[in-house]
Amino acid sequence: MNSLNGTKVLVLGGRGFLGRNLIDLLLRDGASVRTFDRPTSSSADRCAFAGKVEEFEGNFIDGQGLPAALDKVDLVYHLISTTVPSGSNADPIGDVNSNLAGTLRLLKAMSTAGVNRLVYASSGGTVYGNPCVLPVPEWHALQPISSYGVVKVAIENYLHLHSELNGLKANVLRISNPYGMHQRRIGAQGVIATFLHKLMNSEPIEIWGDGSAVRDYIYVADVARALLLAGCNQKSGTFNIGSGIGHSLNEVLRILCEQTGLETEVRYLPHRKFDVTQTFLDIERAREELGWNPFYTLEEGCARFCQLMERAREPALL
Amino acid sequence: MNSLNGTKVLVLGGRGFLGRNLIDLLLRDGASVRTFDRPTSSSADRCAFAGKVEEFEGNFIDGQGLPAALDKVDLVYHLISTTVPSGSNADPIGDVNSNLAGTLRLLKAMSTAGVNRLVYASSGGTVYGNPCVLPVPEWHALQPISSYGVVKVAIENYLHLHSELNGLKANVLRISNPYGMHQRRIGAQGVIATFLHKLMNSEPIEIWGDGSAVRDYIYVADVARALLLAGCNQKSGTFNIGSGIGHSLNEVLRILCEQTGLETEVRYLPHRKFDVTQTFLDIERAREELGWNPFYTLEEGCARFCQLMERAREPALL
């Protein structure tokens, strides 16, 4: 079964970057979609899927509003993170209290509501730490060097425990570095969106380290398909989701400059210790067990992203 | 360097099972010992090392009292756990809020106090889950099936992170099933103490499952020496600490019956899902890197424990 047609799906973090891209796909697939997010004052946030999805608001951290959102749901996508890797080491207790304790409350609420299917967005870029084997397979030791990664591992372990003991069907996607539309442009959510935004606004680009750090960038449409397929999986599993190919920051910047025809000042800053130096993922397991393949190369994904960003800047045709 | 002579050592959980046995050894080794525990109303607890150690009281969970206890300390032993494996799945949020958040507060307080050496008592019986390789080496995947184990793994990961990023010298001992004097006899802290207590009091013994579950039992004096050597280690490391040999519950019971000459009724109860079925540890790394070896076989350790228990029951010679 490779479709969620007719399935009642709750997307936690539906207004976020991965959430919006997933919902686009879920709706086209015929799923009945419900979202759960923090209350927002942004009408753009509220109207993104107006009339097409049921929108619930509440507080993931203390669980307020979750029971109502879970009522009669078949499958939950947990795409919420209250932290980003670069900021998490400054407040690990906050990270634990929000993301880990929040997820434990979610699991309890799911159990109470009789919901036993979950897909969780883990992090292929942080759970392994500095890998000893490239591309990194799922069986690699988990030695994160950010609180963000430690908490993701703890959540994965609790999901595994519930899968072993309580019949939860849990699929964990260790997603590498996704990029594409709806990514928050300013902040730590992704270098490609940040670089593109700065290029388009002629702002200087800052790079931590010498730009040789290698990451596995994956276009968000490919991630959305992986999430959909993981939701269809009939058993529990843990899967790397990436392009399988590594690119340095300098390569990424070169591709974006070429595709936009733009240039800007680049400032190289000292390397940050909590940044992994080189990683890209072995994606054979997702290929074999989920029947998933990434469609977009980095060049193709960036081209598509640039095109969508430019279109978004054009004045609306009235 | 295999001695802590002259070192100022803080033992968190000094009045507990491992703590008391470790302190015996530390004092003989010439260390200057300080303890940190919950306030107690038991004069026996308070007097165990009266005059020989500095006793601090406070709250590990919220960190109250820790800064004073850490003042001018060289090395911390973290032997506190507020949960036991069998009870932890009933309240994982409580487990996270007490053990994990408490340890993060400890790390912060240590950093503030300029203390950068830590030995942590992790759990060789729970962090691996149901192992695929026996004896289990340290590189085995960590797939715990109890919240107790998940939290231990998360703490190990935070220690590794601080060791990589902040110069913490952290030694993690994955201790199997320790037994011996000062173990709480009633409750979940160890089957050998529980069996022995019940034999000596002619109470029925309850065994979860058919008694074939295999564990790695290690006499507490051997654990205390491993803790001492880990405190001397000049770099960070993670070590299995066990006998390296597996024994079933039925074998343990047979040994205790033979050594005491006692018998009692045995009741077999249903297997509990969160109990690992079979595990014993590969202890080569501790042998090579810490120069540690277990001295006691299960028979020898049980004999010693029985002897000490019987002596403790004799009326004091006045």
Catalytic residue of the set B120, B128, B148, B217: B148
Kindly report, residue by residue over B13-46, the tens digit of the pLDDT. 999 999 999 999 999 999 999 999 999 877 777 7
CB B180 within 8 A of CB B219: yes
Q: For residues B40 and B104, which has the higher predicted lDDT (pLDDT)?
A: B104
Q: Which residue of A99, A127, A132, A158 is the best one to mutate when testing the B interface, meaning the one whose CB has the most B CBs within 10 A?
A: A158
User: Residue B318 has what pLDDT?
Assistant: 41
Q: Residue B279 above 80 pLDDT?
A: yes
**In chain B, at which residue ranges do the beta strands (DSSP E only) sit?**
8-12, 32-37, 54-57, 75-78, 117-123, 169-175, 177-179, 205-208, 214-215, 217-219, 237-241, 247-248, 266-269
Q: Residue B1 above 80 pLDDT?
A: no
Structure-block tokens of residue B8 = 């100022």
Q: Assign B184 a pLDDT band (cuts: 50, 70, 90).
A: confident
Kindly report, residue by residue over B249-268, the tens digit of the pLDDT. 999 999 999 999 999 999 99
Q: Helix, strand or coil for residue B106?
A: helix
Superfamily in which the A8-183+219-243+280-295 domain is placed by CATH: NAD(P)-binding Rossmann-like Domain (3.40.50.720)
Q: Is A182 on the interface with B (CB under 8 A)?
A: no
Residue with tokens 């935004």: A197
User: Residue A318 has what pLDDT?
Assistant: 41
Kindly report, residue by residue over B134-177, the tens digit of the pLDDT. 999 999 999 999 999 999 999 999 999 999 999 999 999 999 99
Low-confidence ranges of chain A (pLDDT < 70): 185-189, 314-318
Out of A93, A139, A144, closest to residue B157 by CB: A144
Structure-block tokens of residue B67 = 């800064």
Taking the domains of chain B in order of start, what are their residue ranges?
Answer: 8-313
Shortest Cα–Cα distance, B269 to chain A (Å): 18
User: Residue A275 has what pLDDT?
Assistant: 82
CB B25 within 8 A of CB B228: yes
Q: Is A157 on the interface with B (CB under 8 A)?
A: yes
Structure-block tokens of residue B107 = 């790390």
Q: Which residue of B95, B100, B105 is the best one to mutate when testing the A interface, meaning the one whose CB has the most A CBs within 10 A?
A: B100
Q: Assign B276 a pLDDT band (cuts: 50, 70, 90).
A: confident
The CATH code belonging to domain B8-313 is: 3.40.50.720
Q: Assign B190 a pLDDT band (cuts: 50, 70, 90).
A: confident
Q: Assign B315 a pLDDT band (cuts: 50, 70, 90).
A: low
Query: pTM value?
Result: 0.94
Q: Is B143 on the interface with A (CB under 8 A)?
A: yes
User: Residue B42 has what pLDDT?
Assistant: 78
Residues 6+ apart with CB under 8 A from A244: A135, A216, A280, A281, A282, A283, A294
Cβ distance of B150 and A161 shorter than 8 Å: yes
Cβ distance of A150 and B143 shorter than 8 Å: no
CA B254 to chain centre: 24
Nearest CA in chain A to B126: A161
CB A217 within 8 A of CB A190: no
Active site residue B128: no
Chain A residues within 8 A of B150 when measuring between CB atoms: 154, 157-158, 161
CB A23 within 8 A of CB A35: yes
User: Residue B65 has what pLDDT?
Assistant: 97
Q: Residue B97 above 80 pLDDT?
A: yes
Kindly report, residue by residue over B205-219, the tens digit of the pLDDT. 999 999 999 999 999
Out of B93, B154, B273, closest to residue A154 by CB: B154
Shortest Cα–Cα distance, B157 to chain A (Å): 6
Nearest CA in chain A to B274: A165
Cβ distance of B89 and A139 shorter than 8 Å: no
Q: Tell me the residue type at B307.
A: Q
Q: Helix, strand or coil for residue B238?
A: strand
Cβ distance of B150 and A150 shorter than 8 Å: no
Structure-block tokens of residue A303 = 């081209």
Shortest Cα–Cα distance, A172 to chain B (Å): 14
Q: Read off the pLDDT of each residue in B125-137 and give the average, rounded to a whole number.
A: 95
Nearest CA in chain B to A273: B165
Cβ distance of B157 and A153 shorter than 8 Å: yes
Chain B residues within 8 A of A271 when measuring between CB atoms: none
User: Residue B187 has what pLDDT?
Assistant: 59
Mean pLDDT value across chain B: 93
Nearest CA in chain B to A90: B108
Closest by Cα among A217, A206, A216 to A272: A206
Residues 6+ apart with CB under 8 A from A88: A95, A146, A147, A148, A151
Report which secondary-structure segment, H or E, holds A229: helix A220-232
Percent of all residues in chain B with a pLDDT value above 90, rounded to a whole number: 85
